[in-house]
Structure 1
Amino acid sequence: MSMTLQLVTPDGVTFSEEVEQVTLPAIDGEMGIYPNHEPLITQIVPGELSYTKNGGKKYFLAIGEGFVKITAKNVSILVDMALREEEIEEKKVEEAIARAQAAIKQKLIGEEELAATQAILLKSMAQLKVKRRRHGSGAPPATS
Structure 2
Amino acid sequence: MVEGKGMRLRIHEPNGLFLDTVVRRITAEGPNGAFGILPRHLDLAAVLVPGIFSYEADGGRPVYLAVDEGILVKQGPEVQVATRMAVKGELGALRQSVEEMIAVVDDRERKTRSAVARLEADLVRRFVTFGKNV
Q: TM-score range by the shorter chain?
A: 0.5 to 0.7
| Superposition pairs of residues 130-141 of structure 1, within 5 angstroms | none
Looking at structure 2, the residues matched to 44 and 111 of structure 1 have their Cα atoms a distance apart, in angstroms, of: 16
Instruction: Structure 1 unaligned segments of length 5 or more: list them.
Output: 116-144
**Moved runs in structure 1, 4+ residues, more than 4 A?**
none
Cα pair 1:42 1:67 within 8 Å, conserved? yes
Q: Look up the equivalent residue of 1:112 and give its one-letter code.
A: R
- CA distance 1:85–1:69, shift in 2 (3 Å): same
What's the offset of the Cα at 1:114?
8.1
1:58 is matched with which residue?
62
Is it true that 1:35 corresponds to 2:33 in the alignment?
Answer: no
Larger radius of gyration: 2
Looking at structure 2, the residues matched to 69 and 111 of structure 1 have their Cα atoms a distance apart, in angstroms, of: 25
Cα pair 1:25 1:45 within 8 Å, conserved? yes
What's the offset of the Cα at 1:75?
1.2
Q: Look up the equivalent residue of 2:111 and give its one-letter code.
A: E
What's the offset of the Cα at 1:112?
2.6
Is it true that 1:77 corresponds to 2:81 in the alignment?
Answer: yes
- 1:112 pairs, out of 97, 107, 110, with 110
Is it true that 1:12 corresponds to 2:10 in the alignment?
Answer: no
* TM-score with structure 1 setting the length: 0.61
In the comparison of the two structures, how many residue pairs are matched? 103
Say which SS state the counterpart of residue 13 (structure 1) adopts.
strand
Task: Please give the root-mean-square deviation of Cα atoms over the aligned residues, in Å.
Answer: 3.2
Q: Look up the equivalent residue of 2:35 and give its one-letter code.
A: M
Deviations 1:92-113 (A, max 9, x none): 96xx69xx5xxx9xxxx89633
What's the offset of the Cα at 1:65?
0.2
Instruction: Structure 2 unaligned segments of length 5 or more: list them.
Output: 114-134
What's the offset of the Cα at 1:67?
0.5
% identity of equivalent residues: 29
